[in-house]
Amino acid sequence: MFSTLSLVALGGAIGASLRWLTGVAMLRALGPSDFPMAIITVNVIGSFLMGVFVVAAAHKGLTHLSPFVMTGVLGGFTTFSAFSLETMTLIERGQVTSASLYILLSVGLSVGALALGLILARGVFA
């Protein structure tokens, strides 16, 4: 248990660092922008890598690396990769309605929760 937790923590530190470095690189390459290109970039790359790793791990017997790679590195790099994996799993199971609901609820409720947090925090710290 502790060794798995340590691997997740290490992977998370690596992933979060890579996310930050990607943001810095995007800022230097594209300049300041109101559009979150760095976040979209890490979300897309992380989702792609999650897909590649899931298949590679299953075929090469590397699923024991999942806590480090999937939860740690990719989860630290972008939690959107886990969201994308869960969505595709539902679709591949033929649960398209559930996948659609999952997408709508995840995005809608997450953005709504963030907005609520902003409003409440601004009220407290204003």
Each residue's pLDDT tens digit, 4-52: 999 999 999 999 999 999 999 999 999 998 888 898 899 999 999 999 9
The response to whether 22 counts as a known ligand-binding position is no
Q: For residue 74, what are the contacts with CB-CB under 8 A and spacing of at least 6?
A: 11, 15, 46, 49, 50, 53, 81, 82
How many alpha carbons lie under 13 Å from residue 14 in its C-beta half-sphere? 14
The response to whether 75 counts as a known ligand-binding position is yes
Distance CA 75, CA 121 (A): 26
Each residue's pLDDT tens digit, 72-122: 999 999 978 889 999 999 999 999 999 999 999 999 999 999 899 999 999
Nearest alpha carbon to residue 37 among 52, 27, 50, 49:
27
